[in-house]
Chain A
Protein backbone atom coordinates (compact mmCIF):
# COMPACT_ATOMS: atom_id res chain seq x y z
CA UNK A 1 0.00 0.00 0.00
CA UNK A 2 1.27 3.43 -0.87
CA UNK A 3 1.94 5.79 1.96
CA UNK A 4 -0.76 8.17 0.78
CA UNK A 5 -3.29 5.42 1.17
CA UNK A 6 -1.90 4.55 4.57
CA UNK A 7 -2.48 8.11 5.65
CA UNK A 8 -6.04 7.96 4.37
CA UNK A 9 -6.68 5.05 6.70
CA UNK A 10 -6.44 7.35 9.70
CA UNK A 11 -9.08 9.62 8.24
CA UNK A 12 -11.35 6.95 6.88
CA UNK A 13 -14.64 6.14 8.55
CA UNK A 14 -16.12 2.70 8.27
CA UNK A 15 -19.86 3.14 8.29
CA UNK A 16 -21.84 0.32 9.76
CA UNK A 17 -25.11 0.10 7.84
CA UNK A 18 -27.75 0.29 10.59
CA UNK A 19 -30.36 -1.62 8.60
CA UNK A 20 -28.16 -4.69 8.45
CA UNK A 21 -28.33 -5.00 12.26
CA UNK A 22 -32.07 -5.61 12.01
CA UNK A 23 -32.12 -7.75 8.92
CA UNK A 24 -29.24 -10.10 9.59
CA UNK A 25 -30.29 -13.74 9.37
CA UNK A 26 -29.36 -16.15 12.14
CA UNK A 27 -26.09 -17.96 11.63
CA UNK A 28 -24.66 -21.10 13.20
CA UNK A 29 -21.19 -20.60 14.62
CA UNK A 30 -18.62 -23.08 15.87
CA UNK A 31 -15.42 -21.93 17.58
CA UNK A 32 -12.88 -24.60 16.72
CA UNK A 33 -9.70 -25.48 18.63
CA UNK A 34 -7.57 -25.48 15.53
CA UNK A 35 -6.04 -23.13 13.07
CA UNK A 36 -7.60 -22.72 9.71
CA UNK A 37 -5.49 -20.38 7.72
CA UNK A 38 -7.97 -19.48 5.05
CA UNK A 39 -11.22 -17.56 4.88
CA UNK A 40 -13.53 -19.20 2.42
CA UNK A 41 -16.64 -21.27 1.90
CA UNK A 42 -16.52 -24.72 3.50
CA UNK A 43 -19.05 -27.56 3.32
CA UNK A 44 -19.73 -27.51 7.07
CA UNK A 45 -23.23 -28.94 6.80
CA UNK A 46 -22.05 -31.80 4.68
CA UNK A 47 -19.09 -33.03 6.71
CA UNK A 48 -19.07 -31.44 10.15
CA UNK A 49 -22.61 -30.87 11.42
CA UNK A 50 -23.96 -34.36 10.65
CA UNK A 51 -21.15 -35.92 12.66
CA UNK A 52 -22.05 -34.08 15.90
CA UNK A 53 -23.33 -36.44 18.61
CA UNK A 54 -24.75 -35.77 22.04
CA UNK A 55 -22.33 -37.52 24.40
CA UNK A 56 -22.75 -38.19 28.12
CA UNK A 57 -21.34 -34.80 29.09
CA UNK A 58 -21.68 -32.64 26.06
CA UNK A 59 -21.36 -32.60 22.33
CA UNK A 60 -18.87 -34.75 20.52
CA UNK A 61 -17.69 -34.81 16.98
CA UNK A 62 -15.03 -36.73 15.24
CA UNK A 63 -13.37 -34.33 12.92
CA UNK A 64 -10.63 -35.53 10.60
CA UNK A 65 -9.80 -38.26 13.03
CA UNK A 66 -9.61 -35.98 16.03
CA UNK A 67 -12.18 -36.01 18.77
CA UNK A 68 -13.66 -32.65 19.62
CA UNK A 69 -15.87 -32.10 22.65
CA UNK A 70 -18.16 -29.14 22.65
CA UNK A 71 -20.77 -27.15 24.48
CA UNK A 72 -23.14 -24.30 23.81
CA UNK A 73 -22.04 -20.83 24.84
CA UNK A 74 -24.80 -18.27 25.15
CA UNK A 75 -24.06 -14.64 24.32
CA UNK A 76 -24.50 -12.65 27.57
CA UNK A 77 -27.84 -10.89 28.03
CA UNK A 78 -28.00 -7.44 26.51
CA UNK A 79 -25.61 -8.35 23.72
CA UNK A 80 -26.13 -9.62 20.20
CA UNK A 81 -23.56 -11.39 18.11
CA UNK A 82 -23.00 -10.29 14.54
CA UNK A 83 -20.91 -11.49 11.67
CA UNK A 84 -19.78 -8.50 9.68
CA UNK A 85 -18.20 -8.09 6.30
CA UNK A 86 -16.65 -5.09 4.64
CA UNK A 87 -18.20 -4.01 1.39
CA UNK A 88 -15.60 -4.07 -1.30
CA UNK A 89 -14.82 -0.63 -2.62
CA UNK A 90 -16.32 -0.16 -6.03
CA UNK A 91 -18.46 -3.18 -5.44
CA UNK A 92 -22.01 -2.18 -6.11
CA UNK A 93 -23.56 -5.42 -5.12
CA UNK A 94 -27.02 -6.41 -6.29
CA UNK A 95 -28.11 -6.51 -2.71
CA UNK A 96 -27.04 -2.98 -2.08
CA UNK A 97 -28.70 -1.86 -5.27
CA UNK A 98 -32.14 -2.79 -4.24
CA UNK A 99 -32.01 -2.86 -0.48
CA UNK A 100 -30.00 0.16 0.45
CA UNK A 101 -29.87 2.35 -2.62
CA UNK A 102 -33.23 3.90 -1.92
CA UNK A 103 -32.39 4.42 1.70
CA UNK A 104 -29.27 6.28 0.86
CA UNK A 105 -31.03 8.58 -1.55
CA UNK A 106 -33.71 9.13 1.02
CA UNK A 107 -31.14 9.95 3.60
CA UNK A 108 -29.43 12.46 1.40
CA UNK A 109 -32.73 14.23 1.03
CA UNK A 110 -33.54 14.00 4.71
CA UNK A 111 -30.15 14.99 6.09
CA UNK A 112 -28.77 17.40 3.59
CA UNK A 113 -25.03 17.07 3.56
CA UNK A 114 -24.21 16.30 7.09
CA UNK A 115 -21.13 14.92 5.45
CA UNK A 116 -20.76 11.98 7.77
CA UNK A 117 -20.07 9.87 4.72
CA UNK A 118 -17.27 10.96 2.50
CA UNK A 119 -16.11 9.59 -0.84
CA UNK A 120 -13.13 7.81 0.63
CA UNK A 121 -15.08 6.17 3.44
CA UNK A 122 -15.85 2.49 3.56
CA UNK A 123 -18.88 0.47 4.56
CA UNK A 124 -19.40 -2.58 6.64
CA UNK A 125 -22.58 -4.49 7.29
CA UNK A 126 -23.84 -7.35 9.39
CA UNK A 127 -24.37 -10.40 7.21
CA UNK A 128 -25.57 -12.66 10.03
CA UNK A 129 -26.42 -12.58 13.72
CA UNK A 130 -26.20 -15.09 16.55
CA UNK A 131 -27.12 -15.42 20.21
CA UNK A 132 -25.14 -18.59 20.91
CA UNK A 133 -22.28 -20.56 19.47
CA UNK A 134 -20.71 -23.95 19.98
CA UNK A 135 -17.34 -23.92 21.69
CA UNK A 136 -15.17 -26.92 20.90
CA UNK A 137 -12.19 -28.30 22.76
CA UNK A 138 -9.70 -30.78 21.48
CA UNK A 139 -10.34 -34.08 23.30
CA UNK A 140 -11.80 -32.29 26.35
CA UNK A 141 -14.85 -30.14 27.06
CA UNK A 142 -13.76 -26.49 27.27
CA UNK A 143 -15.67 -26.09 30.54
CA UNK A 144 -16.18 -23.09 32.82
CA UNK A 145 -12.49 -22.16 32.76
CA UNK A 146 -12.44 -21.64 29.01
CA UNK A 147 -10.78 -18.33 28.31
CA UNK A 148 -13.56 -17.19 26.04
CA UNK A 149 -15.99 -17.53 28.95
CA UNK A 150 -13.80 -15.15 30.93
CA UNK A 151 -13.84 -12.79 27.98
CA UNK A 152 -17.63 -12.83 27.91
CA UNK A 153 -17.68 -11.19 31.35
CA UNK A 154 -15.82 -8.21 29.94
CA UNK A 155 -18.91 -6.11 29.03
CA UNK A 156 -20.14 -6.00 32.63
CA UNK A 157 -16.71 -5.08 33.90
CA UNK A 158 -16.36 -2.43 31.20
CA UNK A 159 -19.71 -0.97 32.30
CA UNK A 160 -18.29 -0.33 35.77
CA UNK A 161 -15.08 1.19 34.43
CA UNK A 162 -16.88 3.56 32.09
CA UNK A 163 -19.82 4.55 34.27
CA UNK A 164 -19.84 8.24 35.15
CA UNK A 165 -18.48 8.98 38.59
CA UNK A 166 -20.75 10.78 41.07
CA UNK A 167 -20.45 14.53 41.45
CA UNK A 168 -18.71 15.89 44.50
Chain B
Protein backbone atom coordinates (compact mmCIF):
# COMPACT_ATOMS: atom_id res chain seq x y z
CA UNK B 1 0.00 0.00 0.00
CA UNK B 2 2.45 2.58 -1.09
CA UNK B 3 -0.31 5.09 -1.74
CA UNK B 4 -1.56 5.00 1.79
CA UNK B 5 -4.24 2.41 1.12
CA UNK B 6 -7.86 3.38 1.48
CA UNK B 7 -6.99 7.03 2.02
CA UNK B 8 -6.55 7.58 -1.70
CA UNK B 9 -9.35 5.31 -2.80
CA UNK B 10 -12.59 6.22 -4.44
CA UNK B 11 -15.51 6.61 -2.03
CA UNK B 12 -19.15 6.01 -2.87
CA UNK B 13 -21.84 7.94 -1.08
CA UNK B 14 -24.94 5.79 -0.89
CA UNK B 15 -28.34 6.02 0.82
CA UNK B 16 -29.68 2.64 1.92
CA UNK B 17 -32.96 1.65 3.59
CA UNK B 18 -32.37 1.55 7.32
CA UNK B 19 -33.77 -1.96 7.65
CA UNK B 20 -30.81 -3.31 5.71
CA UNK B 21 -28.66 -2.32 8.63
CA UNK B 22 -30.91 -4.16 11.07
CA UNK B 23 -31.14 -7.21 8.84
CA UNK B 24 -27.37 -7.29 8.55
CA UNK B 25 -27.16 -8.49 12.15
CA UNK B 26 -28.36 -11.89 11.13
CA UNK B 27 -26.22 -12.30 8.07
CA UNK B 28 -22.64 -12.91 7.16
CA UNK B 29 -23.11 -12.58 3.43
CA UNK B 30 -25.78 -12.32 0.81
CA UNK B 31 -25.70 -8.57 0.23
CA UNK B 32 -24.24 -8.05 -3.18
CA UNK B 33 -24.08 -5.66 -6.07
CA UNK B 34 -24.40 -7.38 -9.42
CA UNK B 35 -24.80 -6.30 -12.98
CA UNK B 36 -28.02 -7.32 -14.68
CA UNK B 37 -29.65 -6.31 -17.92
CA UNK B 38 -31.56 -3.07 -17.68
CA UNK B 39 -35.11 -3.85 -18.83
CA UNK B 40 -35.44 -0.44 -20.48
CA UNK B 41 -32.09 0.12 -22.14
CA UNK B 42 -30.91 -3.48 -22.44
CA UNK B 43 -27.55 -2.43 -21.04
CA UNK B 44 -25.74 -3.80 -18.03
CA UNK B 45 -26.90 -2.03 -14.90
CA UNK B 46 -26.16 -2.44 -11.22
CA UNK B 47 -28.64 -3.85 -8.79
CA UNK B 48 -28.32 -4.84 -5.17
CA UNK B 49 -29.53 -8.18 -3.85
CA UNK B 50 -30.22 -8.89 -0.23
CA UNK B 51 -30.56 -12.66 -0.19
CA UNK B 52 -31.27 -12.61 3.52
CA UNK B 53 -34.32 -10.38 3.11
CA UNK B 54 -34.84 -11.88 -0.35
CA UNK B 55 -35.14 -8.46 -1.85
CA UNK B 56 -33.93 -6.70 -4.96
CA UNK B 57 -32.90 -3.04 -5.00
CA UNK B 58 -32.22 -0.74 -7.86
CA UNK B 59 -29.39 1.75 -7.62
CA UNK B 60 -29.79 5.23 -8.95
CA UNK B 61 -27.28 7.98 -8.76
CA UNK B 62 -27.91 11.66 -8.38
CA UNK B 63 -25.36 13.72 -10.16
CA UNK B 64 -25.14 17.43 -10.52
CA UNK B 65 -22.43 19.15 -12.47
CA UNK B 66 -19.63 20.86 -10.57
CA UNK B 67 -20.07 19.20 -7.22
CA UNK B 68 -17.73 17.40 -4.86
CA UNK B 69 -17.79 15.93 -1.39
CA UNK B 70 -15.76 16.63 1.66
CA UNK B 71 -15.98 13.42 3.65
CA UNK B 72 -14.31 13.90 7.00
CA UNK B 73 -10.69 14.65 6.17
CA UNK B 74 -10.84 13.76 2.51
CA UNK B 75 -12.11 15.14 -0.74
CA UNK B 76 -14.09 13.12 -3.27
CA UNK B 77 -14.72 14.21 -6.82
CA UNK B 78 -18.03 14.11 -8.64
CA UNK B 79 -20.38 14.79 -5.72
CA UNK B 80 -22.40 11.69 -6.63
CA UNK B 81 -25.21 10.51 -4.35
CA UNK B 82 -26.41 6.94 -4.86
CA UNK B 83 -29.82 5.63 -3.82
CA UNK B 84 -30.71 1.98 -3.22
CA UNK B 85 -34.48 1.48 -3.29
CA UNK B 86 -36.58 -1.71 -3.42
CA UNK B 87 -37.42 -2.81 -6.93
CA UNK B 88 -40.19 -4.99 -8.34
CA UNK B 89 -38.28 -7.94 -9.82
CA UNK B 90 -41.05 -8.52 -12.32
CA UNK B 91 -39.63 -5.73 -14.49
CA UNK B 92 -36.42 -7.74 -14.82
CA UNK B 93 -38.17 -11.07 -15.31
CA UNK B 94 -40.30 -9.50 -18.01
CA UNK B 95 -37.18 -8.90 -20.09
CA UNK B 96 -36.47 -12.62 -20.15
CA UNK B 97 -40.08 -13.67 -20.60
CA UNK B 98 -40.41 -11.44 -23.64
CA UNK B 99 -37.18 -12.79 -25.05
CA UNK B 100 -38.26 -16.38 -24.49
CA UNK B 101 -41.63 -15.66 -26.06
CA UNK B 102 -39.95 -15.64 -29.47
CA UNK B 103 -39.87 -19.42 -29.15
CA UNK B 104 -43.61 -19.27 -28.70
CA UNK B 105 -43.95 -22.02 -26.12
CA UNK B 106 -44.54 -22.52 -22.43
CA UNK B 107 -41.29 -22.90 -20.52
CA UNK B 108 -40.22 -23.36 -16.92
CA UNK B 109 -38.83 -20.20 -15.38
CA UNK B 110 -35.33 -21.59 -14.87
CA UNK B 111 -35.06 -22.10 -18.61
CA UNK B 112 -36.23 -18.57 -19.28
CA UNK B 113 -34.04 -16.63 -16.87
CA UNK B 114 -30.69 -17.47 -18.41
CA UNK B 115 -28.14 -15.02 -19.65
CA UNK B 116 -24.63 -15.63 -20.94
CA UNK B 117 -23.76 -11.96 -20.62
CA UNK B 118 -25.22 -11.41 -17.17
CA UNK B 119 -25.18 -14.83 -15.52
CA UNK B 120 -26.04 -13.31 -12.14
CA UNK B 121 -29.61 -13.11 -13.40
CA UNK B 122 -30.13 -16.54 -11.84
CA UNK B 123 -30.16 -14.77 -8.47
CA UNK B 124 -33.59 -13.48 -9.48
CA UNK B 125 -34.88 -17.02 -9.10
CA UNK B 126 -34.11 -16.87 -5.38
CA UNK B 127 -36.61 -14.08 -4.80
CA UNK B 128 -39.86 -15.05 -3.07
CA UNK B 129 -43.39 -15.30 -4.46
CA UNK B 130 -42.30 -15.39 -8.09
CA UNK B 131 -45.24 -17.61 -9.03
CA UNK B 132 -47.63 -15.01 -7.74
CA UNK B 133 -45.83 -12.21 -9.55
CA UNK B 134 -45.72 -14.08 -12.82
CA UNK B 135 -49.50 -14.34 -12.92
CA UNK B 136 -49.54 -10.66 -13.82
CA UNK B 137 -47.58 -11.09 -17.04
CA UNK B 138 -47.85 -14.70 -18.17
CA UNK B 139 -50.18 -17.51 -19.04
CA UNK B 140 -49.21 -20.60 -17.12
CA UNK B 141 -49.60 -24.35 -17.38
CA UNK B 142 -48.85 -26.95 -14.80
CA UNK B 143 -47.54 -30.34 -15.82
CA UNK B 144 -46.44 -32.84 -13.20
CA UNK B 145 -46.47 -30.14 -10.56
CA UNK B 146 -44.02 -28.07 -12.56
CA UNK B 147 -45.12 -24.66 -13.78
CA UNK B 148 -44.57 -23.52 -17.34
CA UNK B 149 -44.95 -19.91 -18.38
CA UNK B 150 -45.59 -17.96 -21.53
CA UNK B 151 -45.46 -14.19 -21.84
CA UNK B 152 -48.81 -12.51 -22.25
CA UNK B 153 -48.75 -9.02 -23.70
CA UNK B 154 -52.38 -8.39 -22.82
CA UNK B 155 -51.87 -9.25 -19.17
CA UNK B 156 -48.65 -7.29 -19.08
CA UNK B 157 -50.24 -4.12 -20.40
CA UNK B 158 -53.03 -4.49 -17.88
CA UNK B 159 -50.49 -4.97 -15.10
CA UNK B 160 -48.55 -1.92 -16.25
CA UNK B 161 -51.80 0.05 -16.34
CA UNK B 162 -52.30 -0.83 -12.68
CA UNK B 163 -48.74 0.22 -11.95
CA UNK B 164 -49.47 3.59 -13.54
CA UNK B 165 -52.68 3.94 -11.55
CA UNK B 166 -51.05 3.22 -8.23
CA UNK B 167 -48.24 5.59 -9.07
CA UNK B 168 -50.82 8.25 -9.92
CA UNK B 169 -52.59 7.79 -6.60
CA UNK B 170 -49.28 7.93 -4.77
CA UNK B 171 -48.49 11.15 -6.59
CA UNK B 172 -51.82 12.60 -5.57
CA UNK B 173 -52.22 11.41 -2.01
CA UNK B 174 -48.71 11.08 -0.68
CA UNK B 175 -47.38 14.45 0.32
CA UNK B 176 -43.81 13.65 -0.52
CA UNK B 177 -44.67 12.40 -3.94
CA UNK B 178 -46.79 15.39 -4.74
CA UNK B 179 -44.02 17.67 -3.68
CA UNK B 180 -41.67 15.59 -5.79
CA UNK B 181 -43.83 16.46 -8.72
CA UNK B 182 -43.85 20.09 -7.80
CA UNK B 183 -40.12 20.09 -7.44
CA UNK B 184 -39.66 18.20 -10.65
CA UNK B 185 -41.86 20.73 -12.35
CA UNK B 186 -39.88 23.50 -10.81
CA UNK B 187 -36.81 22.16 -12.60
CA UNK B 188 -38.26 23.43 -15.82
CA UNK B 189 -37.45 26.80 -17.13
CA UNK B 190 -40.93 27.31 -18.52
CA UNK B 191 -43.55 25.47 -16.53
CA UNK B 192 -46.07 23.92 -18.94
CA UNK B 193 -47.94 22.13 -16.14
CA UNK B 194 -49.65 24.78 -14.16
CA UNK B 195 -52.79 22.71 -13.74
CA UNK B 196 -53.05 19.38 -11.97
CA UNK B 197 -54.93 17.67 -14.74
CA UNK B 198 -55.49 13.96 -14.48
CA UNK B 199 -53.68 13.51 -17.75
CA UNK B 200 -50.58 15.18 -16.36
CA UNK B 201 -50.47 12.69 -13.53
CA UNK B 202 -50.97 9.79 -15.89
CA UNK B 203 -48.29 11.11 -18.25
CA UNK B 204 -45.91 11.54 -15.37
CA UNK B 205 -46.59 8.06 -14.02
CA UNK B 206 -46.29 6.60 -17.50
CA UNK B 207 -42.90 8.27 -17.82
CA UNK B 208 -41.76 6.81 -14.53
CA UNK B 209 -42.91 3.29 -15.41
CA UNK B 210 -41.39 3.56 -18.89
CA UNK B 211 -37.99 3.63 -17.28
CA UNK B 212 -38.42 -0.07 -16.52
CA UNK B 213 -39.80 -1.43 -19.80
CA UNK B 214 -38.64 -1.44 -23.42
CA UNK B 215 -39.85 1.33 -25.68
CA UNK B 216 -42.23 -0.93 -27.58
CA UNK B 217 -44.11 -1.77 -24.38
CA UNK B 218 -44.02 1.86 -23.31
CA UNK B 219 -45.70 2.86 -26.58
CA UNK B 220 -48.33 0.16 -26.20
CA UNK B 221 -48.94 1.28 -22.64
CA UNK B 222 -49.40 4.87 -23.80
CA UNK B 223 -52.06 3.69 -26.26
CA UNK B 224 -53.76 1.63 -23.56
CA UNK B 225 -53.80 4.68 -21.29
CA UNK B 226 -55.08 6.77 -24.21
CA UNK B 227 -52.27 9.24 -23.79
CA UNK B 228 -51.85 11.78 -26.57
CA UNK B 229 -49.67 10.67 -29.44
CA UNK B 230 -46.10 11.67 -28.75
CA UNK B 231 -45.71 12.47 -32.46
CA UNK B 232 -46.34 16.16 -31.85
CA UNK B 233 -42.97 17.36 -30.68
CA UNK B 234 -44.00 19.74 -27.95
CA UNK B 235 -41.17 21.76 -26.52
CA UNK B 236 -41.47 19.67 -23.36
CA UNK B 237 -43.73 16.67 -23.82
CA UNK B 238 -45.29 16.04 -20.41
CA UNK B 239 -44.16 12.50 -19.83
CA UNK B 240 -40.72 13.14 -21.21
CA UNK B 241 -40.27 16.41 -19.48
CA UNK B 242 -41.14 15.52 -15.94
CA UNK B 243 -39.69 12.13 -16.30
CA UNK B 244 -36.44 13.50 -17.57
CA UNK B 245 -36.12 16.19 -15.02
CA UNK B 246 -36.53 13.99 -12.02
CA UNK B 247 -35.00 10.87 -13.41
CA UNK B 248 -32.16 12.36 -15.27
CA UNK B 249 -31.06 13.86 -12.04
CA UNK B 250 -30.99 10.26 -10.96
CA UNK B 251 -29.18 8.82 -13.91
CA UNK B 252 -28.54 5.15 -14.39
CA UNK B 253 -24.93 4.36 -14.41
CA UNK B 254 -23.25 1.23 -15.44
CA UNK B 255 -21.17 -0.64 -12.96
CA UNK B 256 -17.73 -1.08 -14.26
CA UNK B 257 -15.61 -2.63 -11.63
CA UNK B 258 -12.45 -2.48 -13.61
CA UNK B 259 -12.67 1.03 -14.83
CA UNK B 260 -9.53 2.96 -14.17
CA UNK B 261 -9.94 6.66 -13.55
CA UNK B 262 -7.20 8.61 -15.19
CA UNK B 263 -7.38 11.06 -12.34
CA UNK B 264 -4.54 13.20 -13.47
CA UNK B 265 -6.45 16.45 -13.50
CA UNK B 266 -5.09 19.59 -11.93
CA UNK B 267 -7.00 20.68 -8.90
CA UNK B 268 -9.88 22.51 -7.38
CA UNK B 269 -11.86 24.34 -9.96
CA UNK B 270 -14.62 26.55 -8.81
CA UNK B 271 -17.26 26.78 -11.42
CA UNK B 272 -20.20 29.08 -11.67
CA UNK B 273 -22.56 27.88 -14.33
CA UNK B 274 -20.21 26.64 -16.96
CA UNK B 275 -17.83 29.48 -16.47
CA UNK B 276 -14.62 28.70 -14.70
CA UNK B 277 -14.28 31.30 -12.02
CA UNK B 278 -11.14 30.35 -10.31
CA UNK B 279 -8.67 27.55 -10.00
CA UNK B 280 -7.11 26.31 -6.85
CA UNK B 281 -3.90 24.51 -6.62
CA UNK B 282 -3.96 22.89 -3.16
CA UNK B 283 -4.60 19.12 -3.37
CA UNK B 284 -3.46 19.40 -6.93
CA UNK B 285 -0.91 16.72 -7.29
CA UNK B 286 -1.88 14.21 -9.87
CA UNK B 287 -3.71 11.23 -8.52
CA UNK B 288 -2.66 7.77 -9.63
CA UNK B 289 -5.20 5.69 -11.45
CA UNK B 290 -7.89 4.49 -9.12
CA UNK B 291 -10.15 1.56 -9.41
CA UNK B 292 -13.69 2.79 -9.45
CA UNK B 293 -16.67 0.89 -8.29
CA UNK B 294 -19.03 2.93 -10.33
CA UNK B 295 -17.98 4.28 -13.65
CA UNK B 296 -16.81 7.71 -14.35
CA UNK B 297 -19.39 10.05 -15.79
CA UNK B 298 -17.69 9.93 -19.14
CA UNK B 299 -18.81 6.34 -19.37
CA UNK B 300 -22.38 7.13 -18.55
CA UNK B 301 -25.14 7.58 -21.00
CA UNK B 302 -25.51 11.11 -22.20
CA UNK B 303 -28.14 13.01 -20.36
CA UNK B 304 -28.93 16.22 -18.65
CA UNK B 305 -27.00 17.38 -15.67
CA UNK B 306 -28.46 17.23 -12.22
CA UNK B 307 -30.24 14.00 -12.92
CA UNK B 308 -30.96 10.50 -11.79
CA UNK B 309 -29.85 7.29 -13.32
CA UNK B 310 -30.15 3.72 -12.36
CA UNK B 311 -26.88 2.00 -11.85
Given known A37-B269, A156-B176, A160-B174, contact A27–B72 (CB-CB < 8 A)? yes
Q: Which of A16, A34, A45 contacts B73 (CB 8 A)?
A: A45
Q: A6-B258, A160-B174 are in contact. Are A150 and B184 (CB under 8 A)?
A: yes
Q: Which residue of A lies closest to B52 (CB)?
A: A18
Residue of B13, B29, B52, B88 most packed against chain A (CB within 10 A): B29
Contact B306 A1 (CB under 8 A): no
Interface residues of B in 240-287 (CB under 8 A from A): 246, 249-250, 255-261, 263, 265-272, 277-278, 280, 282-285, 287
Residues B12 and A85 in contact, CB atoms below 8 Å apart = yes
CA distance A107 to B69 in the complex (A): 36
B127 at the interface (CB under 8 A from A): no
Task: Give per-residue flags for A92-112: 1 if the beta carbon is below 8 A from chain B beta carbons, else 0.
Answer: 010000000001101100110
> With A and B bound together, what is the CA distance between A82 and B48 in angstroms?
15
Among B17-25, B138-146, B225-233, the stretch that binds chain A is B17-25
CB within 8 Å of B: which A100-146 residues: 103-104, 106-107, 110-111, 116-117, 121-122, 124, 127-128, 138, 144-145
Say yes or no for B60: interface residue by CB 8 A criterion.
yes
B114 at the interface (CB under 8 A from A): no
A45 to chain B: which residues have CB within 8 Å? Answer: 73
Please name all residues of chain B whose beta carbon is closer than 8 Å to the beta carbon of A111 when the two chains form the complex. 28-29
In the complex, what residues of A have CB within 8 A of residue B306's CB? 147
Given the known inter-chain contacts A29-B70, A107-B28, A151-B249, please indicate yes or no for A162 contacting B260, CB distance below 8 A.
no
A18 to B215, CA, bound (A): 37
A155 interface contact, C-beta 8 A: yes
The complex places the Cα of A16 from the Cα of B128 at a distance, in Å, of 21
- Identify which of residues 92-135 in chain B touch chain A, using a CB-to-CB cut-off of 8 Å: 117-120, 133
Provide the residues of chain A in CB contact with B162, threshold 8 Å: 165-166
Q: Does B166 contact A15, Cβ atoms closer than 8 Å? A: no
Within 8 A of A (CB), among B43-97: 44, 48, 51-52, 58, 60, 62, 64, 66-77, 79, 81, 83, 85-88
List 27 interface pairs A-B (beta carbons < 8 Å), by A numbering: A21-B16, A29-B13, A29-B69, A33-B67, A34-B68, A37-B265, A38-B267, A39-B77, A40-B74, A44-B73, A85-B6, A107-B29, A111-B28, A116-B29, A116-B51, A122-B257, A138-B270, A145-B186, A147-B62, A147-B249, A153-B183, A154-B180, A155-B83, A159-B86, A160-B167, A160-B177, A162-B87
